[in-house]
Amino acid sequence: MRAPGMTLMRMPLTCWGWFVTAILGLLAFGVLLAGGILLLLDRSAGTSFFLPAGLVINDQVQNHSGGSPLLWQHLFWFFGHPEVYIAILPGMGVASHVLSTFARKPVYGYRAMAMAICGIGFLGFMVWGHHMFVSGMSPYSGFAFSVLTMSIGVPSAIKTFNWLGTLWGGKIQLKSPMLFALGFVSLFVSGGLSGLFLAQPAVDNLLHATYYVVAHFHLVMGVAAIFGIFAATYFWFPKMFGRMMSEPLGKIHFWLTFVGTYCIFMPMHFVGIAGGIRRYADASAIEYLQKLQPLHVFMTIAAFITAAAQLIFIFNFFWSLKFGPKAPKNPWDATTLEWTTDSPPPLDNFGGEFPSVYRGPYEFSVPGAKEDFIPQHLAPAQVARAK
Amino acid sequence: MSSHAQSAHAAPTGFVSKYIFSTDHKVIGIQYFLLALTAVVVGIVLSVLMRFHLVWPNAHLPFVSGGLMTQEQYLALVTMHGTIMVFFVLTTAPQGGFGNYFLPIQIGAPDMAFPRLNMLSFWVTFLAFVAIIAAFVVPGGAPISGWTGYTPLSGIGEVTGPGEGWGPDVVDCQHLAVLPCVTAGRSQFYCHAD
């Protein structure tokens, strides 16, 4: 259903993100579905897929035999690890798209960026074992999962350096979507680095049940993905609802959320290294954890402020829906097809006049062109020249 | 492209077909986005309660029976925060919301490959969200085994104690709700591939 001329290598990187995410979803969710059905049968129909013989609970021997608790962990994480890429890949696409638009530069290494998304999606299916290093896994399997996990650092680093390359020497406009895209890159790197530590089984055995893991995944796939959602919202709100969001409120929202997020999750790493146990209701009664309580107080206050800051976003969203200034067709001087149609688009998206595509998605600051962006649908003859 | 343009659906007129059971990918995208916005508010409230309990474990809370939060209730917060955030925010908003809205427009298409399937996906996701919120009020309370639901604790049921009653069944049914994500994904996949 792609427009004439819209080859795969002319698709915006957002589409690459959604494309690979769709494939990951198709392959991963089915496994969770199967596991979920088996677990329901174990709970309700007396089967023993995940329950071994001789299980004693409340001094009662359970009437199950032959199942393997480890099987659930394998099924769950075979879904669970691709799931984190399902959350983050669209954000990567949005970050690339927004960074390029607001740096007024083509995405550095477009082909490498698209291939890195595919590479991350592919490798994402081979690393689920790193969630299970403490399950009594053989050291040889642990070694294989460890090496494969760290190899995801290669396409991730390609993306990170290409984001920096996109920014390098650009005419950077710090609008709200751009701030959140920059925040995405920052959080992805901060959270990704602790992933390299956790990828080593020897280190993971010590840190697995601590707040270090909580801090790691909240930064890299929790808040980073949320920043991708915020960047997308501020960027596309004018197209979706025909009105602009408030810039000052967006900037206040960004800084409170960005600083707040780091205030919550940076101290959490140190709580984890000091042995702070995760999923533990009351650490105040444990002597060696009592000295960490001041850090917990700091994180809690930061969490309250960050949570309250989201009210600014919700107010901005609904206020702008009603009272924001009317949005033009292309408020950001962007190049891709959604900016050629009305805001919001008509029912069939293009009012019956479907565009043809003549160029790649990120032709910003092309030498010799009159304007600093050339939309994808402009035929070569329509492009205004400087002279 | 003209053949695709002709196959695009006619403009709906009634309120229900236009805004609720719409097959327009743009309406469905906004529906996913608003669902994620609702879910993220619930998820943030749960996380604020967790942070509060970690610092003031002996504080009296007005909505907890007996005033003090039990350890099981804390674990229920952990579980529900994780499940809601992963399935109804991080999976729903980027792919279901923005992917639905902008993928067809960015590649120059009038809609997703299977518009009715796309609509069905959203409404199954919506039912799943209603089901997971219901886990708070069923006998035994919300599940306590974490969003990962590790067995054997999650596989045994009520004998393992409070928080292992109906709640995990509800959440497990919600796992079944990944089905719409599969159908939605297929719709988007064909949209690319064609």
Q: Per-residue DSSP letters for B128-181?
A: HHHHHHHTTTSTT-S--STTTT-TTHHHH-GGG-TT-SSHHHHHHHHHHTHHHH
- Identity (one letter) of the amino acid at A347? L
For residue A42, the model assigns a pLDDT of 86
For residue B5, the model assigns a pLDDT of 43
Gap between the Cα atoms of A56 and A41, Å rounded: 20
Number of domains, chain A: 1
Residue B43 belongs to a domain: yes
Contact A24, B127 (CB under 8 A): no
Q: Flag if B98 and A229 touch (Cβ within 8 Å).
A: yes
Half-sphere exposure of A25 (CA within 13 A, CB side): 31
Q: Flag if B51 and A299 touch (Cβ within 8 Å).
A: yes
Is the pLDDT at B102 greater than 80? The verdict is yes
For residue A41, the model assigns a pLDDT of 86
Q: How confident is the model at residue B165 (pLDDT cuts 50, 70, 90)?
A: low
End-to-end CA distance of chain B: 11
Contact A55, B152 (CB under 8 A): yes
For residue B7, the model assigns a pLDDT of 47
Q: Would you state the structure tokens that stand for residue A130, as one six-digit string?
A: 């790193």
Choose among B33, B156, B194: nearest Cβ to A1: B194
Domain that holds residue B49: 23-193
Residue A101 belongs to a domain: yes
For residue B194, the model assigns a pLDDT of 46
Choose among B41, B103, B176: nearest Cβ to A33: B176
- Residues B29-84 pLDDT 10s: 999 999 999 999 999 999 999 999 999 988 888 777 677 888 888 988 998 999 89
Other CB atoms within a 10 A radius of the CB of residue A249 amount to 17
Residue B9 belongs to a domain: no
Residue A269 belongs to a domain: no
Residues with Cβ within 8 Å of B125's Cβ and at least 6 positions away in sequence, in order, are B32, B35, B88, B92, B96, B177, B180, B181
pTM, entire model: 0.93
Residue B14 belongs to a domain: no
Contact B42, B92 (CB under 8 A): no
For residue B156, the model assigns a pLDDT of 79
Residue B17 belongs to a domain: no
Interface predicted TM-score (ipTM) of this complex, two decimals: 0.95
Residue B4 belongs to a domain: no
Helix B71-84 to helix B115-134 angle (10° resolution) is 170
Is the pLDDT at B3 greater than 50? The verdict is no
Domain that holds residue A30: 12-40+67-173
For residue B163, the model assigns a pLDDT of 58
pLDDT, tens digit only, all 387 positions of chain A: 788 999 999 999 999 999 999 889 888 888 888 888 888 888 888 899 999 998 888 788 888 889 999 999 999 999 999 999 999 999 999 999 999 999 999 999 999 999 999 999 999 999 999 999 999 999 999 999 999 999 999 999 999 999 999 999 999 999 999 999 999 999 999 999 999 999 999 999 999 999 999 999 999 999 999 999 999 999 999 999 999 999 999 999 999 999 999 999 999 999 999 999 999 988 878 899 999 999 999 999 999 999 999 999 999 999 999 999 999 999 999 999 999 999 999 999 998 889 999 999 999 999 988 889 999 999 998 887 765
Choose among A72, A225, A232: nearest Cβ to B90: A225
Q: Would you state the structure tokens that stand for residue B129, as one six-digit string?
A: 């969200």
> What one-character-per-residue DSSP string does A171-206 give?
-----HHHHHHHHHHHHHHHHHHHHHHHTSHHHHHH
Q: Flag if A293 and B55 touch (Cβ within 8 Å).
A: yes
Q: Could you tell me the CA-to-CA distances from B105 to A3, A5, A171, A194 in Å, in that order?
A: 10, 14, 27, 37
Partners of residue A72 in chain B, C-beta under 8 Å: 149-151, 154-155
Residue at token pair 């149609």: A341
Partners of residue A267 in chain B, C-beta under 8 Å: none
- Most A-contacting residue of B61, B90, B101, B188 (CB-CB within 10 A), to test interface: B90
Choose among B106, B173, B182: nearest Cβ to A337: B106
Residue A103 belongs to a domain: yes
Q: What are phi and psi of A243, to 5 degrees?
A: -135, 160
Contact B108, B1 (CB under 8 A): yes
Q: Report which of residues B120 and A181 the model is more confident about.
A: A181
Q: Flag if A83 and B194 touch (Cβ within 8 Å).
A: no
For residue B114, the model assigns a pLDDT of 82
Residue B10 belongs to a domain: no
Residue B15 belongs to a domain: no
Residue A77 belongs to a domain: yes
Gap between the Cα atoms of A86 and A88, Å rounded: 6
Q: How confident is the model at residue B190 (pLDDT cuts 50, 70, 90)?
A: low
For residue A60, give the H/E element and its range.
Answer: strand A60-61
For residue A70, the model assigns a pLDDT of 94
- Identity (one letter) of the amino acid at A208? H
Number of domains, chain B: 1
Other CB atoms within a 10 A radius of the CB of residue B181 amount to 27
Partners of residue B3 in chain A, C-beta under 8 Å: none
For residue B149, the model assigns a pLDDT of 86
